[in-house]
Amino acid sequence: MTNDESYNNLKKCPRFDKCNQNLCPLDIGLPLRIGGSGEKCFWMRPPSKKTIHGKVFISGGQVMPDGSLNFVPESNLEWLNTPSKKRWLEIKKNETKF
C-alpha cells in the first residue's frame, strides 16, 4: 500500500481533520507506530469517567461509526476499544451472509 492509499484510508475517520493522535486503527502501518496511551485514537480508548465540579464526563469507549469501521484492517482489530471491536465483528459477520 502506498502512502497516498494509507493517507486516504485515515481520512475516512469523521475526526480526521481535528485529530493529532499518533495511533489510529485506520492506519495501515499501525503495527509500526509507537506511542503511549495518551497518543491513542478516540476509538481505541476504553471508557474513562471523570467528575469535575459534580458533573460526570465520559471520554472514550464509544463505537466508531460503521462507515469508518468498514476500513479498519483486520490486523488492527486488537487496537480498537471493546464496543468498536464488537461492532466490527458484527459488520464482518453480516457481510459473509450476502
- pLDDT digits 0-9 by tens, 48-78: 899 999 999 988 889 999 999 999 999 999 9
Among 88, 81, 40, 89, CA closest to 67: 88
Look over the chain and give the mean of its residue pLDDT values, rounded to a whole number.
91
For residues 61 and 84, the model is more confident at 84
Per-residue pLDDT band at 98 (split at 50, 70, 90): low
> Which pLDDT score is estimated for 3?
81
pTM over 0.85: no
For 76-92, letters b (16+ CB in 10 Å) and e give: beebbbebbbebbeeee
Domain ranges of the chain: 3-97
pLDDT value at 89 more than 90: yes
Provide the 3-class DSSP secondary structure of residue 35.
coil
